[in-house]
A and B are shown apart, each in its own frame.
Chain A
Amino acid sequence: MESDGLHLNISYVGSCGIILSGEQKAALETSLVILQNNHKFNRVFLWGKILGVKNDYFIAQGTGNDEMADRKTLYSLDCVAWGLLPQATQAIRDQCSVVKGRFHGDPAHEYEHIEIQKIGEGEDSTEEESTIMIKEEDRLAAVVADIDEQVAIAPRGAFVKTPHGAVLQNRSFEGLSVTEAGKQQNYCHFREPVRLNEKSLLEKADLDKSIDFLDPINEDIPKGSWSLKFERGSGLVTITSLLWPGTTFYHVPHTRKYGWIYVGTGEKNKDLPFML
């Protein structure tokens, strides 16, 4: 959710139970502006909040010129002092995928994970236990990267890909119409496309290379993992993800207003297929 007008935009996701207290709103307005200035971001977003047992983490993201590639993530415990999160490489993400349970709320907390490795082959194999310590900060970076990859969405046409490959905001995006806003295929994952290249040439022929460079969400598996609701009649569209409960995307049809935010425990809902 963009930091410009945060105090107004937060009311759009209020129907999903996401609000900020007055103190938090005021603190964020101040600190995000400072953040933007210090890090020279083009735009600053309040990415969301990850609830820990003792404390909550506020996460902010700043983008440079290229909206997709140039993203930096920061976290804070009190909305005032922000720290840069380490870049989540594939190795860190693999390591952190074994950690289960809630976040503790202490960035220096370490999770113990015991791995049993078999050394040697056949009957001579011995089992060696190695304890790996995983820092909560790394886990936070990994979870933020996972959520970005799996449930960060944008309306179709909101971003354009220039011929150089940079992803920019589309200045002539005027919002989806009401009928378009009701269809899941008009929203796309904001990440490097995965399924786009697997499409047949026939399907690709109809796509506009500058706008349709992202995967639409209606092809996500399992079907039904996104819940699209109209609030205020047709005045507001809210899309929530059931895979990461707490992800809320909003869009006001016929306007440029859209955004998404995550407020949750930072745990994937692995039971989704049972629950649908």
Chain B
Amino acid sequence: MSTEEEPPVSSPSAAAENKENEAGTPKLDTPKIPTPAGTPQNNGISSPISLNMAPKEQDFLNAKAFLLKSSIKSNLNLYDHLSRVLTKVLNERPENVVDVFEDISKDVKRSKFTSQADTILDKVDRSTEVILAEVQKPLFEKNQEEAEHEGGEDEVETPLPNLPELMFYFEQAGIGMSREEMMRIFLALKQLVDNYPLQTCRFWGKIYGTELNYIVAEVEYREGEEEEEEEEEENEAEDVDLDKEEEGEGEGEEQEEDDTPKPDFKPPPVIPREDNRTGTNKKTFFVCNEPGQPWVKLPPVTPAQVAGARQIKKFMTGRLDAPIVSYPPFVGNEANYLRAQIQRISAGTQISPLGYYQFDEEEEEEEEEGTRENFMENPDYEGIPVKDLVDPTFSNWVHHVQHILPQGRCQWFAPIQQQEDDFEDEEEEEEREEPDEPEPEIGPPLLTPISEDIEIENIQPWSARLSSTLVPQYSIAVMQSNLWPGAFAFGTEKKFENVYLGYGHKYSPDNYSPPPPPAVQEEYPSGPEITETEDPTPEEEMALRAAQQEAMEAAEEMEDPEEEEEEDDE
């Protein structure tokens, strides 16, 4: 039959023409469709063509006409659609095609409409990937200066750590990130070392945030090289504060007579932060969101921030300028909170094998100072066998970062109460020193073994494992902190390293509960003069009156017999 040779292409136009006619009336007499010889043309009758055809052929034409009927909604007809789907199936020949037939059908329908879509979509998809790749490309490029100094570079000590080696060990322990990312971080650290005068540089770890992550590097500047701009700013701020206080005092003395009651509340004195290179600010930290992005220096941490960070629990968002909305209100933005958490984690989880570091024996500090701060590598360190490092008593690991006191500093700072009247006698000051000044806080000294760490409920604070149970002779020791989940340390005979990969929060088996608001201040001291007493009840009043009358009568009786006696005497 000639109808079988009909190409599918011609029918869409037939369908279009059909659409113009009344819906549901197939026009078989359009010139594009070849009809068997002998059929009349253009008769406009909706009934099927019948003359000179066998009934089966008639049925066939009727069925085909029905299939060619185009849908009102989508302007497709089933005939074309089926032929397209079957063409696709025969071209692609998928497995078990009957099971996915409906999906293929849907795909064909979808593709018909998007074939004319513009190509701009493609560009949008790839641009972010390209941007990131562009940012990271400079990591892999060699500096021109370096190329010149290539000869002599071997002799210069670089503060850059041998990160690939450390990451190999961590990978043995099942800790860390994918190798490509570690490589990129390594190159980013190299960039950091090239741009800043650093004495030591270390990959501290990665802190996850809700929008972006932070990659943290711990550095120590070379002596004398540190930027002094920040210190100048702080001095200015302090001067301004002092001026304000003096002004306030002057005004107070003048207006003593008719004043609104001034609150008695004196805010606790601000505890100054420790200097750079000491205590909590011993190391400086740089962060970036992705390796390749410029490193941003985190500000030094103040005791108020550490104390505040201890009381709140917030996820990092990944943006350093994000505000921290919490109760109690945190003094600072996310950069400060991040820095405080980093310091807390370092103080709690940076450990080294016993004997790796030792105190500098030449410098002896007096006991009043309390803590010894400086240690150095022990040149005679012989290494501790891995089996001893995973000893369940944990006696072979020590902390090498100073513990932070509840005050928020590593060294106790005695706050001197600044009073408005400064003319106190020395004697009075000495007498008042004991009740007013809080007791100096002491914490565990540097290089304390981790066996002294406090347990969390019933769980030991650290877990020690061997990296491989199958081959213990070549395995390394892995320490995981249970107090700060995400803090890991590995140790081999001669090497060790710490890293943190986590959200930056302490572990607590109980729920976090924000501290309750402080108690309402008393407006006035309550004493017997001010307190109301209840009015006496009528019974009590009667009783009192009766008692008073009795007393009066008794007094009268006393007088009367005396008078009588006097009268008698006379």
Q: Smallest CB–CB gap between A114 and chain B, Å?
A: 15
The DSSP consensus for interface residues of chain A is loop
| B172 CB contacts on chain A under 8 angstroms | 21-23
The A212-263 residues at the B interface (CB cut-off 8 A) are 224, 227, 229-230, 232-235, 240, 242, 245, 253
The B204-232 residues at the A interface (CB cut-off 8 A) are 206, 208-213
CB pair B174 A19 closer than 8 Å: yes
CB pair A22 B171 closer than 8 Å: yes
CB pair A227 B459 closer than 8 Å: no
| A235 CB contacts on chain B under 8 angstroms | 129
Q: How large is the interface on B (under 10, 10 to 19, 20 to 34, 35 or more residues)?
A: 35 or more
| A171 CB contacts on chain B under 8 angstroms | 94, 99-100, 103
Greatest chain B CB density within 10 A among A11, A51, A265, A271 is at A271
Chain A, residue nearest B488 (CB): A17
CB pair B313 A275 closer than 8 Å: yes
| A24 CB contacts on chain B under 8 angstroms | 174
If A101-B459, A233-B130, A274-B313 touch, whether A172 touches B103 (CB-CB below 8 Å) is: yes
| A33 CB contacts on chain B under 8 angstroms | none
| B459 CB contacts on chain A under 8 angstroms | 53, 101-102
| A22 CB contacts on chain B under 8 angstroms | 171-172
Chain A residues with a Cβ closer than 8 Å to the other chain, count: 42
B503 interfacial contact with A, CB 8 Å: yes
CB pair B509 A100 closer than 8 Å: yes
CB pair B171 A15 closer than 8 Å: no
CB pair B131 A233 closer than 8 Å: yes
| A265 CB contacts on chain B under 8 angstroms | 485, 507
CB pair A234 B210 closer than 8 Å: no
Q: Smallest CB–CB gap between B484 and chain A, Å?
A: 12
| A172 CB contacts on chain B under 8 angstroms | 100, 103-104, 107
A34 interfacial contact with B, CB 8 Å: no
Chain A, residue nearest B102 (CB): A210
When each residue 130-161 of chain B gets 1 if its CB lies under 8 Å from chain A and 0 otherwise, what string results? 11110000000000000000000000000000
Chain B, residue nearest A19 (CB): B176
When each residue 1-35 of chain A gets 1 if its CB lies under 8 Å from chain B and 0 otherwise, what string results? 00000000001001111011111100000000000
CB pair A229 B128 closer than 8 Å: no
A147 interfacial contact with B, CB 8 Å: no
CB pair A21 B171 closer than 8 Å: yes
CB pair B177 A232 closer than 8 Å: no
B234 interfacial contact with A, CB 8 Å: no
Residues of A within 8 A of B (CB): 11, 14-17, 19-24, 51, 53-54, 78, 100-102, 170-172, 177-179, 224, 227, 229-230, 232-235, 240, 242, 245, 253, 265, 270-271, 274-276
9 additional A-B residue pairs with CB within 8 Å, beyond A14-B176, A171-B100, A274-B512: A16-B208, A21-B467, A23-B471, A54-B463, A240-B208, A245-B503, A265-B485, A274-B313, A274-B314
